[in-house]
Chain A
Amino acid sequence: QSVLTQPPSASGTPGQTVTMSCSGSSSNIGTSSVNWYQQLPGAAPKLLISNNYQRPSGVPDRFSGSRSGTSASLAISGLQSEDEADYYCVAWDRSLAAWVFGGGTKLTVL
């Protein structure tokens, strides 16, 4: 059971906008920044969003992040087939003194 809760799956058609959530508590998302990662099959996780909404160099602006209270969201606009992957959120938990990941959302592009 992951400390951060993500829906196990999401789907959309090419061109659509898909939003996925990451729910936590006051000891993690409520007081800490959230990072989002994309993981393609057989590859290492790749940073998509840091500090809730910042995109590293090279990440398309189709990807955007936000945080409100104890939840965070990742939105992907203009969905493309190559976006099909697993997406994970992570945040520092001050009670556990540990980084905690969500269980991941598997995105399917129909």
Chain B
Amino acid sequence: EVQLVESGGNLVQPGGSLRLSCTASGFSFSSYWMSWVRQAPGKGPEWVANIKQDGSEKQYVESVKGRFTISRDNAKNSLYLQMNSLRAEDTAVYYCGKDMEVWGKGTTVTVSS
């Protein structure tokens, strides 16, 4: 069974940084694109970023380019999202995804002073 467990969400001040982690199990992690999707309170999901199997290709939604960095460690079956220069509008539940198919339960990021 595919399992994705996110961690690292927290309350952070505007301008601050946070690193999210996702530990995967139940599938061949290194064989899949991996994604981050977020969902602000009361809103629909928004794709944030994804990364190719070997990490050689990364794509981001326009609103996070230059601020967020997606990475992965295939030896550890882990996906990461480094978030810098955080803004109030980044407040959301962040989900880790196996491609765009299966999602974890999410971790909550709140950006507020």
Interface string of B51-72 (1 = CB under 8 A from A): 0000000010110000000000
**A98 and B101 in contact (CB under 8 A), knowing A44-B95, A44-B106?**
no
Distance A56 CA – B102 CA, assembled complex (angstroms): 10
Within the complex, what minimum Cβ distance (angstroms) separates B11 from chain A? 20
By size class, the interface of chain B is: 10 to 19
Number of interface residues of A (CB under 8 A): 23
Contact, CB under 8 Å: A90 / B104? no
Question: CB < 8 Å: which of B47, B103, B104 contacts A98?
Answer: B47
Determine how close the nearest CB of chain A comes to the CB of B31; give it in whole angstroms.
Answer: 16
User: Could you write out 18 A-B pairs with CB less than 8 Å apart?
Assistant: A2-B44, A35-B100, A43-B105, A44-B104, A44-B105, A45-B37, A45-B103, A46-B103, A47-B101, A56-B101, A86-B44, A88-B45, A90-B47, A98-B62, A99-B50, A101-B44, A101-B46, A101-B47
